[in-house]
């Protein structure tokens, strides 16, 4: 079953000035598409030919894992954004964040630190762990918390291709902008 690049739920220029159209065109249109293409070229004739992305993330390794995880990770990342969604959580997720981290501000600080301190390329994640508690985890390269049995709620892509066109090597500036495009209604539904 060939995978396709999912359509963005907003226009390519909708997240400006925080994430430029040029970055969306390259990050989504080129990088994300390349992972889809690579995966479609890798799976024919393997036991993963008709598998879901989630199955490949949990069971595959090497190129199939890397590309399946990157397709899933990027889709999840891009679907977390909107030009006008609520910029803070509400309801049950807000309560869980406050109980776990003390406040939304404290959560933002810890999550940002996790994204800033991840060496090299990878992802910072807010997950619901196996015990049902919130946790911030770092995953290098194509890492995905599904492989560890966690439920992903939010992610931040800290591969340089996610921000280099807009912020060059200034990951802290990218992270400041990142909080301005998150749609907490979308994120809250994952909780």
Report the alpha-carbon distance of residue 73 to residue 180 in Å, rounded.
Answer: 20
Give the whole-angstrom CA distance, residue 97 versus residue 89. Answer: 9
**116 and 51 inside one domain:** no
pLDDT bucket at 1, cuts 50 / 70 / 90? low
Asked if omega into 100 is within 30° of 0 (cis), the reply is no
Contact predicate 174/162, CB 8 Å: yes
Residues 98 and 25 in one domain: no
Q: Determine the Cα–Cα distance for residues 5 and 31; give it in Å rounded to an integer.
A: 11
Strands (E), the chain: 122-128, 134-140, 151-157
Report the pLDDT averaged over residues 163-181: 97
Could you tell me which of 121, 160, 125, 161 has the C-alpha nearest to residue 141? Answer: 121
Q: Which range of residues forms the domain containing residue 43?
A: 21-78
Instruction: Looking at the structure, tell me whether residues 182 and 101 fall in a common domain.
Output: yes
Has residue 163 been placed in a domain?
yes
For the segment 150-168, what is each residue's pLDDT rounded down to a tens digit? 999 999 999 999 999 999 9
Residue 10 lies in a domain: no
CB atoms under 10 Å from CB of 188, counted, come to: 19
Same domain? For 97 and 149 the reply is: yes
**Residue range 66-119, pLDDT digits in tens:** 999 999 999 999 999 999 999 999 999 999 999 999 999 999 999 999 999 999
Residues 64, 37: one domain?
yes
One domain for residues 68 and 104: no
Residue 47 lies inside a defined structural domain of this protein: yes
Q: What is the pTM of this model?
A: 0.96
Same-domain check for residues 71 and 97 = no
**CA 40, CA 42: separation in Å to the nearest integer?**
6
Contacts of 81 (CB under 8 A, 6+ apart): 10, 15, 19, 181, 182, 183
Q: Answer whether residue 109 is part of any domain.
A: yes
Quick one: 112 and 74 in the same domain?
Answer: no
Q: Specify the number of domains making up the chain.
A: 2
Average per-residue pLDDT for the chain: 97
39 and 95 within one domain: no
């Amino acid at each position: 079953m060939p995978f396709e690049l999912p359509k963005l739920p907003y226009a390519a220029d909708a997240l400006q000035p925080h994430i430029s159209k040029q970055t969306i065109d390259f990050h989504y249109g080129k990088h994300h598409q390349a992972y889809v293409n690579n995966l479609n070229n890798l799976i024919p004739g393997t036991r993963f030919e008709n598998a879901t992305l989630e199955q490949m993330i949990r069971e595959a390794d090497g190129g199939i894992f890397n590309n399946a995880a990157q397709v899933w990770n990027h889709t999840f990342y891009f679907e977390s954004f909107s030009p006008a969604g609520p910029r803070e959580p509400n309801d049950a997720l807000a309560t869980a964040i406050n109980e776990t981290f003390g406040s939304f501000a404290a959560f933002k600080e810890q999550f940002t630190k996790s994204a800033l301190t991840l060496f090299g390329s990878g992802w910072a994640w807010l997950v619901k762990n196996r015990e049902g508690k919130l946790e911030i985890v770092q995953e290098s390269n194509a890492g995905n918390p599904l492989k560890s049995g966690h439920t992903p709620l939010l992610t931040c892509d800290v591969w340089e291709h996610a921000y280099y066109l807009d912020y060059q090597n200034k990951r802290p500036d990218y992270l400041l902008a990142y909080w301005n495009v998150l749609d907490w209604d979308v994120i809250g539904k994952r909780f």
